[in-house]
Amino acid sequence: MKALLLKETKHLEIADVDIKESVGPNDVRIKIHTVGICGSDVHYYLHGRIGPFIVKEPMVLGHEASGTVIEVGTNVKNLKVGDRVCMEPGIPDLNSRATLLGMYNLDPAVRFWATPPIHGCLRETVVHPAMFTFKLPDNVSFGEGALVEPLAVGMQAAKKAMIQAGDVAVVTGCGTIGMVTGMAALASGCSKVIITDTLQPKLDLAAKMGMTAVNIIKQDLKTVVDKATDGWGADVVFEASGNENAVLHAFEPLRPGGCVVFIGMPVEPVPVDIVSAQAKEARIETIFRYAHVYPRAINLMESGKINVKPMITDTYKFADSIKAFEYAANPKPTSVKVAIEMQ
């Protein structure tokens, strides 16, 4: 089948790959429709590695996908041929200790699309466990289906924060992950989400989505938060930039007893201000991808409470997928999510 193959660092090819997958009793085969390009795909393309994960063999990229079921295994009850679906890209060992504890995202044996040595989904078809394949409602498009994956990251962060109705949240970083986290926080009951960045077009988009946008070049975050909360501070701070400075100052806009969720992944280890956290007895949470949130993310899209469509700023056909990656590696400031349509 045709696939977008990362042959080596900075060398992509649309190639015929020999991936033979048979549909097991609990699997489905899916014809891929839309794949979102993630920061991690671009990172593998440009640098060939993320931390300990090194691309040693040519690898198919992509992990944010939607498509149509074209074959179902004999035991599969929840899906049928023709269903429009999106997929969780990580497949854990179902018998692992982490999976039994409900933390299947943390199973050390998890096989995650486009994390070497596992091929991703920028290819014609994939075989996937039915239990990690989710039906899309009629009013949710393939594009939105592909964005369930990043939205799930925001949903996991909102879950960990244990948001209460009326909470005020800060999100540092207005990239894809910051935006979906802000949306998940609003949908989870936050009365206000204050989101920061240095790139004005991204902030303008977040403002259209109902968030209070703060350009940290022009405005001081702490002053804005103090004004919004009578000097008390934000109930939750989501760090979604991975930027060293944002991590260091994450506790500043927080209220006493509030919660900071670290989502961003700094490329190198960075300092955290422990005493600032202690002085507020801050609750500190971290997330690694997500578990058990896809169905709720899809429900929120179906209900209209979360609309990710404006985030899909650039769409390419599969034949132009190398161009799509070249663009995603050096995008306009107005770009948020670059998507590739396979059909």
Ligand X SMILES: NC(=O)c1ccc[n+]([C@@H]2O[C@H](COP(=O)([O-])OP(=O)(O)OC[C@H]3O[C@@H](n4cnc5c(N)ncnc54)[C@H](O)[C@@H]3O)[C@@H](O)[C@H]2O)c1
List contacts with Zn ion (CB under 5 A): 38
Confirm if 144 and 183 have CB atoms less than 8 A apart: no
Q: Using H for helix, E for strand and C for coil, what is the string for 155-205?
A: HHHHHHHCCCCCCEEEEECCCHHHHHHHHHHHHCCCCEEEEEECCHHHHHH
Determine, following the binding rule CB under 6 A, whether residue 133 of this chain makes contact with ligand X. no
Number of residues lying near ligand X (CB under 6 A):
27
Nearest residue to 160 (alpha-carbon basis) of 258, 254, 265, 261: 261
Q: Which of 59, 263, 306, 342 binds ligand X (CB under 6 A)?
A: 263
Closer of 79 and 297 to ligand X (Cβ): 297
- Name which of Zn ion, ligand X, none residue 172 binds, using a CB cut-off of 5 to 8 Å depending on partner kind: ligand X
Determine, following the binding rule CB under 6 A, whether residue 62 of this chain makes contact with ligand X. no
Determine, following the binding rule CB under 6 A, whether residue 174 of this chain makes contact with ligand X. yes
Determine, following the binding rule CB under 6 A, whether residue 92 of this chain makes contact with ligand X. no
Min separation Cβ 181 and ligand X, Å: 9
Closer of 71 and 226 to ligand X (Cβ): 226
Min separation Cβ 89 and Zn ion, Å: 8
Question: In whole angstroms, how large is the CA radius of gyration of the chain?
Answer: 20
Closer of 28 and 104 to ligand X (Cβ): 104
Q: With b meaning 16 or more CB within 10 Å and e meaning fewer, what string describes 274-284? A: eebbeebebbe
Determine, following the binding rule CB under 6 A, whether residue 53 of this chain makes contact with ligand X. no
Nearest residue to 342 (alpha-carbon basis) of 60, 21, 52, 116: 60
Contacts of 251 (CB under 8 A, 6+ apart): 237, 260, 273, 276, 277, 280, 282
When CB distances to ligand X are compared, the closest residue is 175
Termini Cα distance of the chain: 14
Determine, following the binding rule CB under 6 A, whether residue 311 of this chain makes contact with ligand X. no
Distance, CA of 216 to CA of 213 (rounded, Å): 9
- Name which of ligand X, Zn ion, none residue 28 binds, using a CB cut-off of 5 to 8 Å depending on partner kind: none
Min separation Cβ 53 and ligand X, Å: 12
Q: Which of 23, 127, 199, 207 binds ligand X (CB under 6 A)?
A: 199
Determine, following the binding rule CB under 6 A, whether residue 242 of this chain makes contact with ligand X. yes
Determine, following the binding rule CB under 6 A, whether residue 159 of this chain makes contact with ligand X. no
Q: Which of 46, 265, 284, 319 binds ligand X (CB under 6 A)?
A: 265
Distance, CA of 342 to CA of 32 (rounded, Å): 6
- Name which of Zn ion, ligand X, none residue 241 binds, using a CB cut-off of 5 to 8 Å depending on partner kind: ligand X
Closer of 197 and 341 to ligand X (Cβ): 197
Q: Which of 185, 246, 293, 338 binds ligand X (CB under 6 A)?
A: 246
Determine, following the binding rule CB under 6 A, whether residue 245 of this chain makes contact with ligand X. yes
The residues that touch ligand X, with contacts defined as CB under 6 A, are 39, 153, 172-178, 196-199, 202, 216, 240-243, 245-246, 263-265, 287-289
